[in-house]
Amino acid sequence: MLSRRTFLTVSGAALTAPGWASFTTSAPVLAAAAHTDDRVTVDEPLLNVIDGVVANAQQLDEQHGAAGAEFVADQFHSVARLLRVGSYTPATGQRLAAALAQLAQTTGFMDYDALRDGRAQRWYLTGLHAAHAAHDRPLTASILALMSNQAITLGQITDALQLAPASQEAAAHAPAPVRALIAARASLAHAAAGDLTSFRHARDATLTHLDHLTAGEPAPRWAAYVSPTELDAITGRGLVTLATHLPHQQHTLLTEAEPLLRNRADTDATSVSQRSALRHGVLLALAHTRTGNLDQAAATTRAALNRLDTVASPRILQLLHQLRGHLADHAHRNAHLRGLVTDLETPFPPARAARGRTYR
């Protein structure tokens, strides 16, 4: 139960040891406390309501980003109270714990998106405990992979490289869509380390699992967003990262990234995946800029900015400021870029965005 508003981030064993323990130790058997007359009975209709809350929270995250973090956290606490004081069978206890784990994962990613990294870590660790209690290894794998990706952002590359294989081991017997997602997320740790060979191996694993995904192997509902488009976008993100570590191969890597990013960047405005479309649209514009495709960079940036009315993501605003710096370096060569650089500066001042506020 998270009650404080501010948390410091952790690293090293404090972060990685709970990750490995979450699937290498025996899971508990959940059972309700002694029955009392005023206890809520957790039955199938109530579980269906909770499942709907979880699904809607995930859609809120995918469509609008960080804005609903406090609302989703409230739903977590409501379900946690049922687990503490409700009347239920062990099987129902596992379903409640699985719902808790999904809500913790969603809230954690929302806090990560809002630059609240300490809180995000605590939510992820809480989610690991809940997934462990639910005997849900695929969900454990997903949370570990998100922890690895966050460690990259924090500059904790060693932690990221330890959490990535933990996530893959936890996903070893998961449905193909989950294994594909975990392999794609693991590739980002290798990209952050500048390890092109391991990155390629992770990409090959993603494509292998993708073959089973397209054959129709079902995914958990929380992984319903996994698609070839999303997996390609994650790989494209890794290639953009690799290009910063391997300057002699920068043009080749960025050229390879562009088509992988484009399908997600061009996502229709009516799709749920607006946050992902915005993030990868900005990355595509960055790739265009660094390869000298300045007209495409300008058009892609404009298209990405159109999503800011619906997506709240201070982390993506930071990425936009990074893009602005690259665009400014070329503005003297392209009239479209000069106006764009001004537009990027005016509504999104870098100092204020870095403090984690959302501007629209």
3-state DSSP of 143-197: HHHHHHHHHHHCCCHHHHHHHHHHHHHHCCCCCHHHHHHHHHHHHHHHHHCCCHH
Rounded Cα–Cα distance for residues 217 and 8 (Å): 40
Mean pLDDT of 62-80: 93
Confidence category of residue 323, pLDDT binned at 50, 70, 90: very high
Q: In the prediction, which pLDDT does 20 show?
A: 76
Confidence category of residue 35, pLDDT binned at 50, 70, 90: low
Q: What is the share, in percent, of the chain residues with pLDDT greater than 70? A: 90
Mean pLDDT of 262-273: 94
pLDDT beyond 60 at 245: yes
pLDDT beyond 50 at 353: no
Rounded Cα–Cα distance for residues 54 and 94 (Å): 15
pLDDT beyond 80 at 91: yes
Rounded Cα–Cα distance for residues 304 and 172 (Å): 36
In which region does residue 135 sit, left (phi positive, over 0), alpha (psi from -120 to 50) or beta (all else)?
A: left
**Higher local confidence (pLDDT), 295 or 37:** 295
201-223 tens-digit pLDDT = 999 999 999 888 766 677 899 99
Mean pLDDT is lowest, of 3-7, 40-44, 236-240, 252-256, for 3-7
Whose CA is closest to 81, among 134, 42, 119, 131? 42
Q: Which residues pair with 312 in a beta bridge?
A: 65
Phi and psi at residue 65, to the nearest 5°: 80, -135
Task: Specify whether the CB–CB gap between 42 and 92 falls below 8 A.
Answer: yes
Confidence category of residue 348, pLDDT binned at 50, 70, 90: low
Q: How many C-beta atoms surround the C-beta of residue 338 within 10 A?
A: 16
147-173 tens-digit pLDDT = 999 999 999 999 999 999 999 999 999
The CB-based long-range contact list for 279-282 (8 Å cut-off, 24+ gap) reads: 279/237, 279/313, 279/316, 279/319, 280/233, 280/236, 280/237, 281/307, 282/316, 282/319, 282/320, 282/323
**Residue ranges of domains in the chain:** 40-135
Mean pLDDT of 221-249: 96
| C-alpha neighbours within 13 Å on the C-beta side of residue 127 | 28
Cα 131 to Cα 103, 135, 199, distances in angstroms:
11, 6, 28
Q: What pTM did the predictor assign? A: 0.90
Task: Specify whether the CB–CB gap between 94 and 135 falls below 8 A.
Answer: yes
| C-alpha neighbours within 13 Å on the C-beta side of residue 133 | 22
DSSP 25: S
Confidence category of residue 24, pLDDT binned at 50, 70, 90: confident
**Higher local confidence (pLDDT), 356 or 301:** 301
| C-alpha neighbours within 13 Å on the C-beta side of residue 311 | 28
Mean pLDDT of 66-95: 92
Q: In the prediction, which pLDDT does 358 show?
A: 32
Rounded Cα–Cα distance for residues 102 and 11 (Å): 23
pLDDT beyond 90 at 256: yes
In which region does residue 71 sit, left (phi positive, over 0), alpha (psi from -120 to 50) or beta (all else)?
A: alpha
